[in-house]
Structure 1
C-alpha cells in the first residue's frame, strides 16, 4: 500500500511539471514596465531565450528596475570590474594629461594569468588618460594595474579605494580584491550592484566620454610613434547592438571561465535611456556571443 502511495505521488508530481511546461525549476524573473506593451514584450522575451543567468535592466534616470533575473545573487564580475577601476581613477586624478612610465613590474604576471592587454609596453611613457581608454576599450589589464600603482603604490591598497567607493554609492554585496577582474573567489558583486555602479559612473563626464568611445588612438610614444589604436571589444557587434528605435551609447564586456560572458551596456530607445547588466552566459570568446544576443533581444522589448 505504501509503495502504491509513493508511486502515485511521483505520477502527480511529474504531471504538475509537465503542466507547467517544464518551467518549475526556472528562476522567477521580475518584470515591470512603462506600458502594458512593454511589460508584455519583456515578459515574452524573458520566457523565450535569455541565456544569461543574471540580468538587471533599469532606467538610467530613475534607477527603476524593469527586469530582474537573480540580480541580487553573488557573481564574479570579470572585466566589468574595470568600470570601477576607471571611475576611481578619473575621480582621483586632476591632470590626466600627465605622462607616466609603464614599469616592468606591471607586466610580470599578466601573461601567465592569460589577462587581456591593450598593447602598451614596458618602459613606454604614456598619458594617464590613454590608460583609461586602454582599460575600458580593449580591456587592458596592464592599464588597470598601472593606474592602481600610480594612485596607491600597489594594487591591494587601490582595492581599498574601490571598496570605499562601492560602499559610498550603495553597492551592498560587492567586494573587490583586484583592479582587473581576474578571477578570485573573494572578488564578487551582483548584477544589481553593477547597475548601481554604472548609473553612478555615467554622471562623471570623463568616464562617460570613455565609456561611449568605440575607437581611440593614443598619443605618439617612443614605443608607438604613430600612437596605439585601441578598439572596443564591442566594435564588431556595434551594428548588432543598435536598437531598432534608438541608439547604442556604450558598453563594457567581461569574461572569465568562472564568470561566463558578461556585458554592461547603455542605450537610448524611444527617447529614454536604459542600463542593462547581464552575466553568466555560457561560452567564451570563440563561441556564439550569447551576452550580445541577450542584449539585442532585451532592447527589442523596450
Structure 2
C-alpha cells in the first residue's frame, strides 16, 4: 500500500512539475495543473473526489475553491482541511509563493525523521553557535556542546531555536547546502514542488519560499509520525546535555504555541494537538496546526503572512470555528 501511494505521489509531482516548465511568476501560474481541467470529476463543493492519479489520502484544492472570502480572515494565505475526510473547508491563495519563516522547520523535521537516527550525538559547531541575525531565536547552545539529536529536534520544534536547526543540518547533511538539497528532495517527494529551501530554519532569504498548499502536503506527511505528534503536543521540554568540558547543562524550553500555553482558547469541541509558528519581517506571522474535533476527526489549518501575532492566533481561531 505504501509503495502504491508513493507511486501516486510521484505521478502527482510530475503533473505539478509541468507548471514549473512554464516559469511560475504569479498566483495564477502557481495553480495546480489540474485545477481548471474539465472532466476530472472536480465539483465546486468542498467534497470533491481526487482523480485516480492523485494520492487518495490528500485533499484536492482546484482553483475555484482557492479564493474563498471571510472578513475575519485577512492573512495573505489561509487553509483548513478536514484531514480525515479529505475535504476543503476554507482555502484562499494557497498556491501563492510566500516566505515560510520557521514553518521551514517542518521540512527539516521530515528529513530528520526519514533519514537520521535520533539517538545520534551531535556536536555543536561554530556556525551553529554564532548566528548573528537580529531577532533570530536561539536555544543558546555553545560551540563544543554535545547533545542528542532527539533533544535537538525537540528544542527545534518546541522553542524554534535556529541554532538547533543549523546543528541538525550539519549533522545530517554535512553542510547547510547539502542538507538543503535533502530538504528540497523530501519536499518534491511529498508533492511540494512549488517550494525552494536554502536553509533549515527559515531565517530570511529571497530564494527561500513555499506555498500554503506545499506546507499542507509536508505537514500531512509529518502527522503520520507518532514522534512528530508527541513533540508538537508538548508545552515545554527540559533537556540535559554536556558542554565542551563535559559538564552537564540543563535548559527548559517553552512552546511558541499559544493554544498549548493556554494563552489562546480553541473553539468548544476542538482540541489543538500542536503545530508550528513562524515569524520574520517579510514572512509576517505564520502558523500551522493539527487539531481534532469531538468525533476524533483531524484537521490541518494554516495561516501565512498575518500582520501580527495577535491577529495570527485570532484568525486561526476563526478558521477553527468553521469546523462543523
The TM-score normalised by the length of structure 2 is 0.74
Judging changes above 3 Å, is the alpha-carbon distance between structure 1 residues 121 and 235 closer, same or farther for their aligned structure 2 residues?
farther
- CA offsets 1:72-118 (integer angstroms, 9 cap, x no match): 11110010000111121122113x2232211222223x123532112
More helix by share: 1
Match for 1:274 among 274, 299, 310? Answer: 299
User: Distance in 2 between the 1:91 and 1:256 partners?
Assistant: 28
Matched, 1:289 2:303: no
After superposition, the C-alpha distances for 1:197-221 in whole angstroms (9 at most, x for unaligned) are 1011111222222122221111243
Gap change, CA 1:69 and 1:236, over 3 Å in 2 = closer
C-alpha root-mean-square deviation of aligned residues, in Å?
Answer: 2.2
Higher RCO structure, 1 or 2 (CA under 8 Å, sep 6+):
1
> Take 2:100 and 2:112, find their aligned partners in 1: how far apart are those partners?
19
CA contact (8 A) 1:214 1:235 kept: no
Please tell me whether Structure 1 or Structure 2 has the larger radius of gyration of its CA atoms: 1
Gaps of 5+ in 2: 1-43, 49-67
1:100 corresponds in structure 2 to 122
- How far apart in 1 are the matches of 2:137 and 2:270? 31
> Does 2:233 correspond to 1:212?
yes
> Aligned partners of 1:57 and 1:136: how far apart in 2?
21
Deviation, 1:33, is: 7.0
Shift of 1:245: 0.7
Work out the CA distance in 1 between the residues paired with 2:304 and 2:45: 18
| Count of aligned positions | 257
**Residue in 2 aligned with 1:249?**
273
Greater Cα offset, 242-251 or 219-228: 219-228
1:258 to 282, 291, 298: 282
Deviation digits for residues 245-296 of structure 1 (CA, Å, limit 9, x no counterpart): 121100110011111000011111132110011101113xxxx511111111
Residue 192 of structure 1 aligns with which residue? 213
Alpha carbons 2:260, 2:274 under 8 Å: kept: no
Q: 3-state SS of the aligned residue for 1:47? A: coil
The yes-or-no answer on 1:138 pairing with 2:159 is yes
**Structure 1 residue ranges without an equivalent (≥5):** 1-29, 35-44
**Out of 19, 32, 39, which is 2:46 matched to?**
32
* Distance in 1 (alpha carbons) for counterparts of 2:238 and 2:163: 17
**CA deviation vs aligned residue, 1:166-200 (integer Å, no higher than 9, x gap):** 11110121111111111111111101110111011
Tell me: CA distance 1:252–1:31, structure 2 relative to 1, closer, same or farther (3 Å): farther
